[in-house]
Structure 1
Amino acid sequence: MTSSGTPQPPSPPVPARRIAVLAIPALVVLAAEPVYVLVDTAVVGHLGAVPLAAVAVGGTVMSVAAWLGTAAAYGTTGRAARRFGAGDRQAALAEGVQASWLALVVGIALAVGLQALAGPITAALAGPQSPAADAAADWLRIAALGAPGLLLAAAGNGWMRGVQETRRPVRYVVAANALSAVLCPILVYPAGLGLIGSAIANVIAQTLGGLLFVRALARAGVPLRPRPELIAAHLTVGRDLLLRGAAFQASFLSATAVAARYGTASVAAHQIAIQLWFFTALAMDALAIAGQSLVGAALGAGDAAGARALARRLVLLGLASGLAFAAVFALGAPVIPSWFSPDPQVHDQAMIVWPWFVALQPIAGVVFALDGVFIGAGDLRYLRNLTIAGALGGFLPAIWIGYALQLGLTGIWAGLGVFMVVRLVGLLARLRSSRWAVLGVPAVRA
């Protein structure tokens, strides 16, 4: 990374109110999608264990699109924040335009590819004899049509966070997901579409969200033509984020595949727990989003000391958030699983997972906050290497060893625990060093 900025005198510490101004709207945006998924899970869960298992399998595949969207959003936030911190808002908006072109192309490719590959993929995940495999494939073919909108919305969130614009993302995302949350039960039950109604509601929400962000760019007064050199720069950013994300995807796909092989009740319980995990992860990622924007802007403006102070504050806030979630879920253990399925076998399996789920929340709060700090700093290579080490050295071996020993869901969630502890230790060690706080633009190292 070249440092095009010159060191500036340290700025006053970023007040907690400024973090909140960015984090609270980000929390609403981040929580909107998992809240909708939880509503969807509850609606489909009352159709029976097989439809719920089908959504678990199909939704795991669609998480690939969400992973690509997260990479697009996080990479765009870091680049746009550096430009914004250096005082060039138009250049920050230009990053959003090119990220949107890239999102559109990748989204269309996913939507088309999954029409042919849905059957083989869901059969591989659920097992060819599973009653959920065919239902998951039907759900996935329709849900995949929302991939372009999903990725466009992710890119839009990325550039808006980079320029520290907080209100419009909330309006766009909440409007799209609220519409879909209303449509989902109507399409599933009164309209008689069943599981397919859930997929249609997903597509409506994602397409509407993407179009709203595209309209915002069109009205921003920035040229909309594709610029290959900037798209190439986004691909460079995406390289490490995608490799990092691939480690996540391999781990969570393996977890779902193993859970499915323990039976319908096990995979349904895993779906409930993992969706709640994703919900809390994305909710606590609100601090990470604030960190991306503020750390990127501070380093773009040449304020390394301010970036370090902000990182330490975010660690404490992340820990507090994780402890709060742990308390809520510990107290709610007797009732929360029953919100998603009336099946007593599913509930019993969920109780196997619950102690792990609760205990990992404080660790997750710190890990997610530091992820945001280092993504904002453009320290993506380190994050990539650490995540791959945690996945290959902890999560994946534990999942498959647990399966060989028939440990049930305990083996899966123990693997997740090892993965999170490896990341925690590596991130705290990196924070103590000064190698991540590099000044100036561009936002990433080549």
Structure 2
Amino acid sequence: MKATHFQSAALYHGLSTSTTRRTSMPIRRPALSCASRISATPSPFITLCAKPASPIQFTSPHDHDDDVPVPALLTNPNSDNSSLRSPESGNTHSHSDVRREILLLTLPALAGQAIDPMAQLMETAYVGRLGTVELASAGVSMTIFNIISKLFNIPLLSVATSFVAEDIAKTAAEEYLSEHSGIQNIGNGKSFERGNRKKQFSSVSTALLLALGIGIFEALALFLGSGILLNLIGVSTENPIHNLAIQFLSLRSVGAPAVVLSLALQGIFRGFKDTKTPVLCLGIGNLSAVFLFPLLMYFFQLGIAGAAISTVLSQYIGTLLMIWFLNKRVELLPPRMENLQFGNYFKSGGFLIGRTLAVLTTMTLGTSMAARQGPVAMAAHQICMQVWLAVSLLTDSLAASAQALIASSLSRNEYKIVKQITNFVLMIGMLTGICLMVILGASFRSLATIFTQDSEVLQVVRTGVLFVSASQPFNALAYIFDGLHYGVSDFPYAGFSMMVVAAISSTFLVFAPSHFGLHGVWMGLALFMALRMVAGFVRVLSKNGPWWFLHRDFQIA
């Protein structure tokens, strides 16, 4: 028998020993077209949907030479949420099961995704009432802050989720073997203790230390280089918003470590399949900002500086709460530094850093071109961008759920389940985009008055209703495809395709504003999202990429 990826029995850590069935069968495992860490990593969780002694057969362009023996199949027929089923149960999931699981994962993630954009909207609304110059200054500063702080944050969030989930699965396997195979000593020779003893995960410690180091670096870069960064995006010392922007950005830089740690912690909690704790902590942090904004901005008359301080305090409140909850569950630091996984984090996040850099470069170029149109145009652009990103990012929660489910199902060769997930999230993404387009098209003109009362700014903002509303279907599907790429670990395509899309869109952004003004900036950003959507369709429709199984028939013989 040939060597196999699977070196341990299929395990499910929540099973009752009284309901465990054991069987042995050969499985013909197709070679995946996308060599990735997630799909290629040995996993103790294997779902089998065939009768005993019936191999699974696939009609695909790939070789199926490896007969994989599974010495023990563990089932949990009493668990509704488990993807494991007994050999007699047939299919693992029905369409309704898949949809219910996606929705249950999406709802808490949706709340978490909505918190940060809503906080930025609230900050924009408060600053907008101070005046046009203040709003434009905050808009430029927020853009620079997002560029620096999110360059590594998004890859760290995605990688931490996968690494922590893998660590948990490994621990569950060792725990099962210790309990059911008579193994008393595992790992370094010490007995595995359950109960209230906090567990140690090197992936958790690595993510936290990386986040802290990156956060400190970002804070120093923003504080010391605020003037240089403003000049790079076209805000010179002669610009009326320059001095206020430096003040706002310098104060916001203090919150950079909290922002990076917050995203890393969210990834860690996702690895634990806990989306409620981050929502609770972030909600408390942002709720504090509701009281801090008027208190510092108006009562203490700190103005735009009060807005920045309020945001920083709320960020640290949410982050410290998450650290407190995490410390109750696991050891934050490992006993030995050599257990850390810095190399794996850097390797897996490389492609995503390139992708994130391409996105941020395009968005920054758009802001820079808008700033060159003057303070009124920049203020209007800031309002449109905040609404545009706030509503479109809501679909990112659906993409995150799809990513987790697809990665899990694909590692178990559940291609039919992956098809169901893919079709469902694309359909929901399209419907969400259409609904947002209709809602914003009908309400955006009135919605703009929340952010400013300046008649000149409002006049420009109302001309952007087509940009904000009509691009929503593109935005929704673009974010969905990001989740699909990550789910099949197609990180190279996600990175390289984004670079091509960004290059085309950036070229348009350089020349269009000179002919169309601020509308040229919005047209370029809409083109950027539309091309991202097209790139996603091209990959999914390809018969030779990681989505080959969408175009092949497979059956259980």
Q: TM-score, normalised by structure 1?
A: 0.92
Does residue 424 of the first structure (1) align with residue 533 of the second (2)?
Answer: yes
CA contact (8 A) 2:201 2:330 kept: no
Counting matched residue pairs gives 437
Following TM superposition, by how much is the alpha carbon of 1:25 offset from its aligned partner in structure 2, in angstroms?
A: 0.9
Aligned residue identity for 1:101? L
- Where does residue 115 of structure 1 map in the other structure? 223
Change (3 A) 1:303 1:84: farther
Following TM superposition, by how much is the alpha carbon of 1:81 offset from its aligned partner in structure 2, in angstroms?
A: 4.3
- Where does residue 442 of structure 1 map in the other structure? none
Aligned residue identity for 2:392? A
Following TM superposition, by how much is the alpha carbon of 1:371 offset from its aligned partner in structure 2, in angstroms?
A: 0.8
- Choose from 2, 5, 11 the match for 2:92: 11
Provide the rounded CA distance (Å) in 2 between the counterparts of 1:87 and 1:301: 19
- Choose from 125, 130, 138 the match for 1:47: 130
CA contact (8 A) 1:329 1:358 kept: yes
Where relative contact order (Cα < 8 A, 6+ residues apart) is larger, the structure is: 1
- Where does residue 66 of structure 1 map in the other structure? 150
Provide the rounded CA distance (Å) in 2 between the counterparts of 1:227 and 1:118: 36
Aligned residue identity for 2:114? A
- Choose from 239, 256, 268 the match for 1:159: 268
Does residue 76 of the first structure (1) align with residue 184 of the second (2)?
Answer: no
Provide the rounded CA distance (Å) in 1 between the counterparts of 2:532 and 2:127: 34
The structure with the larger Rg is 2
Provide the rounded CA distance (Å) in 1 between the counterparts of 2:153 and 2:211: 8
- Mean Cα deviation higher: 66-75 or 236-245: 66-75
Following TM superposition, by how much is the alpha carbon of 1:66 offset from its aligned partner in structure 2, in angstroms?
A: 3.2
Following TM superposition, by how much is the alpha carbon of 1:208 offset from its aligned partner in structure 2, in angstroms?
A: 1.8
Provide the rounded CA distance (Å) in 1 between the counterparts of 2:458 and 2:474: 25
Deviations 1:317-355 (A, max 9, x none): 111111111111111032111110111111121123220
Secondary structure, aligned partner of 2:393: helix
CA contact (8 A) 2:138 2:248 kept: yes
Does residue 311 of the first structure (1) align with residue 422 of the second (2)?
Answer: yes
- Where does residue 465 of structure 2 map in the other structure? 354
Change (3 A) 1:390 1:306: same
Secondary structure, aligned partner of 2:341: helix
Change (3 A) 1:132 1:227: farther
Provide the rounded CA distance (Å) in 2 between the counterparts of 1:88 and 1:131: 59
- Where does residue 444 of structure 1 map in the other structure? none
Change (3 A) 1:203 1:433: same
Structure 1 stretches of 4+ moved >6 Å: 89-92
Aligned residue identity for 1:397? T
- Where does residue 379 of structure 1 map in the other structure? 490
CA contact (8 A) 1:319 1:362 kept: yes
CA contact (8 A) 1:77 1:292 kept: no
Aligned residue identity for 1:119? G
- Where does residue 278 of structure 2 map in the other structure? 169
- Where does residue 193 of structure 2 map in the other structure? none
CA contact (8 A) 1:398 1:415 kept: yes
Aligned residue identity for 1:40? E
Deviations 1:145-166 (A, max 9, x none): 1111111110111122233212
- Choose from 244, 255, 259 the match for 2:366: 255
Secondary structure, aligned partner of 1:164: coil
- Where does residue 134 of structure 1 map in the other structure? 243
- Mean Cα deviation higher: 321-330 or 426-435: 426-435
Provide the rounded CA distance (Å) in 1 between the counterparts of 2:352 and 2:329: 28
- Where does residue 443 of structure 1 map in the other structure? none
Following TM superposition, by how much is the alpha carbon of 1:86 offset from its aligned partner in structure 2, in angstroms?
A: 7.4
Provide the rounded CA distance (Å) in 2 between the counterparts of 1:362 and 1:417: 10
Change (3 A) 1:376 1:101: farther
Q: TM-score, normalised by structure 2?
A: 0.74
Change (3 A) 1:334 1:277: closer
- Where does residue 403 of structure 1 map in the other structure? 513
Does residue 367 of the first structure (1) align with residue 450 of the second (2)?
Answer: no
- Where does residue 29 of structure 1 map in the other structure? 112
Does residue 390 of the first structure (1) align with residue 501 of the second (2)?
Answer: yes
In structure 2, list runs of 5 or more residues that go unmatched: 1-35, 50-90, 175-198, 550-557
Matches for 1:221-232 after TM superposition, within 5 Å? 221-222=330-331, 224-225=333-334, 226=337, 230-232=341-343
Change (3 A) 1:89 1:221: farther
Does residue 197 of the first structure (1) align with residue 306 of the second (2)?
Answer: yes
Following TM superposition, by how much is the alpha carbon of 1:291 offset from its aligned partner in structure 2, in angstroms?
A: 1.3
Provide the rounded CA distance (Å) in 1 between the counterparts of 2:138 and 2:451: 13
CA contact (8 A) 1:187 1:194 kept: yes
Does residue 412 of the first structure (1) align with residue 412 of the second (2)?
Answer: no
Provide the rounded CA distance (Å) in 2 between the counterparts of 1:78 and 1:382: 19
Aligned residue identity for 1:398? F
Aligned residue identity for 2:506? L
